[in-house]
Structure 1
């Protein structure tokens, strides 16, 4: 009897010698009974699967964010049906309707039924190819290959957009101040930079100093995480939270926070750009190109992106009036140093400061001597940690300032020039820096030093430090939380 029961739940036992000696009719009867009991055994085995075991979670769709059926704080990011567990920050729960982490009294725990995507509608909504007759400045700019300038290059000033990514703190502030030293410089030759701020480990007093000195403050993210596959709500939460933090703790006017760059330079498909529209931003600089000669010009996203994207998550729909300032990959003719959207990603290990200066100059001249597209000089703090690179950049800046038709401007200053109704009426040497949109005055000389509790995404309690002219918050500022909660 034991052998029979064992066979019923483990059919392979049927093929052992003892069972093969049965007669034909008995064999058939036993086989029917065996199949019935085998099905029952499988059903019993299925009953043993714990639906709350995260290993048992199955993605309802190939891509997207989906609620954990048993834990409201937990959700899963699905990529090609492969789930990755994510926890909402402390005190927040996952709202499966809005697809974002929010407060407990606002959260609709899931799972919420997934709506079917109308693939035909998605296809129809793809951005059309450029139509130069319909796309006209100041509201629209496009070209077939992206490299056509808006007017004769001989009359275009050469703009350099120095762009620095990451938190501002004691590890890098002195480097920035040294590079951006504008002492004894005429107004039109003052060095301006655009900073893409990340919240973690940021000194908000130093950000305020940069802001009051005339530099542009733009957004990266609060968490610094890869948001490439995040939905619109997640993108909006990151951008709106960081904007609120900068307004409160760095006294940056919200009217001056106009642009963003995706963390890790990984655009978030159409979702990121829909979030930018909904949050009222003017420009983005998250798209990078392959090595192109001539380089591409900035464009609005009314039409299809005119070049191949280095990271394959660029927007495909139309977002009228939203400006894209693409990062043309840096390179030189003999490929020394490699090709890189951020200059600190290229390799200068064995080169002197003169070599680095020469490399930057050759890369720059590809813009200057062709279509005069703005030269986006994007980098991180680690560029300055190598002495030859730091000194080479200073030499390049000093040389560029001697050129009467080269100007260092912020991203928004460039767009103000490009969309001016008098565009093309002046000479390439007659550019004048526009006045600041808002009055900027440092709100204190001695900031408050804050030691603040912070709950990591994995639930671990830690401490964070920040400086601000404002009163210290109760906890470290984070998503949807300016630190004012108990």
Structure 2
């Protein structure tokens, strides 16, 4: 009976979409009576599912942009060690937006095997504002395919994207995400920080000002946006672009102040969006770790991937039932660690070394020349 009801809901939603949108419709103001979970969300500061605040987990989203290398992998092992667990006993996890050049795909595979989320950050890490639709496809879908081929990440697990430099490409970029079945984007800053907004879908008009243009103007049903909420006291949306004090306690206090703005209001997911280079400064790392160790002892805080957060929003589950919430579980026994890796020396503006457990390609994978035999772009 439950299955029949779910099928009915899906069919009802698809019918509603048919009535509300055509393939190139201009996005309109969100209509809460039509936009219903799990398929559609208006965002804003309303808690999904009308759950009482004391039963809502405060989700913390840690992300890292750019290449994964043998050097920054040591940092990730330190931050996400076995002692840092969520209240359900599962290890804390992060999302990695990975571009191609200099990436060690053996280390990417190891991150994936430990339950972290792997997402696309384009191949060449180019500014996106002027890219054509075809260029967006080659960059973003191409990197998804490279990650799958050389890091053994299932294509269907690469659901997310962040534009390099947060340089979004308007409707062309979002059309690419929609056409190639990406679940979400996380590239658009939001000034709506008091209280912070929950993630939303792009069925309707985005629910905050466009900070970095061009933003989407059309409707892209079912594509989620995880906005980069600007910080108070730091003047930034990427956390490593904030103006931090020069000591670890000051770093800790700035992060904690912005966390509490989420925790004490809408409980929208709190984002910690970084590049690994920020942690080179010892007081940055010390302040960050001090914050991590504070929140990991709070029984209503979960450090999860962006995809896990979306799954919670789609199916809001109170704290007293979270231990059995499937999306927050941590059985990754079907994800193999990288073994028997080889270092492939390939020509690309000099010599590039690419580690992978797969056979070395004949040529260095690049935009439109990924060296892959099969591609969803063909």
Q: TM-score, normalised by structure 1?
A: 0.68
Pick aligned residue for 1:407 from 302, 312, 317: 302
Greater Rg over alpha carbons, structure: 1
Q: Which residue of 1 aligns with 2:200?
A: 299
Structure 1 residue 149, shift from structure 2 partner: 2.1
Q: Which residue of 2 aligns with 1:262?
A: 163
Pick aligned residue for 2:42 from 133, 137, 142: 142
Q: Which residue of 2 aligns with 1:358?
A: 253
Structure 1 residue 438, shift from structure 2 partner: 8.2
Q: Does structure 1 retain, via aligned residues, the 8 Å contact 2:361–2:371?
A: yes
Instruction: State yes or no: 1:311 paired with 2:212.
Output: yes
Within 5 Å, which residues of 2 pair with 1:297-376? Answer: 297-331=198-232, 335=233, 338-348=234-244, 350-376=245-271
Q: Does structure 1 retain, via aligned residues, the 8 Å contact 2:84–2:296?
A: no
Instruction: State yes or no: 1:164 paired with 2:74.
Output: no
Instruction: State yes or no: 1:208 paired with 2:75.
Output: no
Output one character per residue of 1:105-161: Cα deviation in whole Å (capped at 9) or x when no partner. Answer: xxxxxxxxxxxxxxxxx9x93211011101111111105xx2222223332110001
Output one character per residue of 1:188-234: Cα deviation in whole Å (capped at 9) or x when no partner. Answer: 45210000001011111111110101100001010100012212111
Instruction: State yes or no: 1:472 paired with 2:333.
Output: no
Return 5+ residue gaps in structure 1 as ranges.
1-121, 455-460
Structure 1 residue 272, shift from structure 2 partner: 0.5
Return 5+ residue gaps in structure 2 as ranges.
1-21, 374-378
Q: TM-score, normalised by structure 2?
A: 0.86
Instruction: State yes or no: 1:481 paired with 2:369.
Output: yes
Instruction: State yes or no: 1:427 paired with 2:327.
Output: no
Pick aligned residue for 1:177 from 77, 86, 89: 77
1:185, 1:296 → 2: CA distance?
26
Instruction: State yes or no: 1:190 paired with 2:110.
Output: no
SS at match of 2:60: strand
Deviating more after overlay: 232-241 vs 359-368: 232-241
> CA separation of 1:412/1:293 partners in 2, compared to 1, >3 Å: closer, same or farther?
same
1:437, 1:130 → 2: CA distance?
37
Output one character per residue of 1:260-310: Cα deviation in whole Å (capped at 9) or x when no partner. Answer: 111111111011110001111111111111262111110010111111122
Structure 1 residue 358, shift from structure 2 partner: 1.1
Pick aligned residue for 1:448 from 327, 334, 342: 342
2:113, 2:338 → 1: CA distance?
9
Q: Which residue of 2 aligns with 1:389?
A: 284
1:371, 1:133 → 2: CA distance?
21
SS at match of 2:70: coil
> CA separation of 1:153/1:327 partners in 2, compared to 1, >3 Å: closer, same or farther?
same
> CA separation of 1:255/1:330 partners in 2, compared to 1, >3 Å: closer, same or farther?
same
1:288, 1:184 → 2: CA distance?
29
1:211, 1:131 → 2: CA distance?
38
Q: Which residue of 2 aligns with 1:398?
A: 293
User: Per chain length, whose mean CA-contact separation is higher, i.e. which structure has more relative contact order (CA < 8 Å, sep 6+)?
Assistant: 2
Within 5 Å, which residues of 2 pair with 1:203-282? Answer: 203-282=104-183
Structure 1 residue 469, shift from structure 2 partner: 0.9
SS at match of 1:221: coil
Q: Does structure 2 retain, via aligned residues, the 8 Å contact 1:192–1:409?
A: yes
Q: Does structure 2 retain, via aligned residues, the 8 Å contact 1:157–1:428?
A: no
2:53, 2:124 → 1: CA distance?
41
SS at match of 1:159: strand
Q: Which residue of 2 aligns with 1:115?
A: none
Question: What is the root-mean-square deviation in Å for CA atoms of aligned residues?
Answer: 2.1
Q: Does structure 2 retain, via aligned residues, the 8 Å contact 1:154–1:428?
A: no
Structure 1 residue 378, shift from structure 2 partner: 0.4
Structure 1 residue 376, shift from structure 2 partner: 1.2
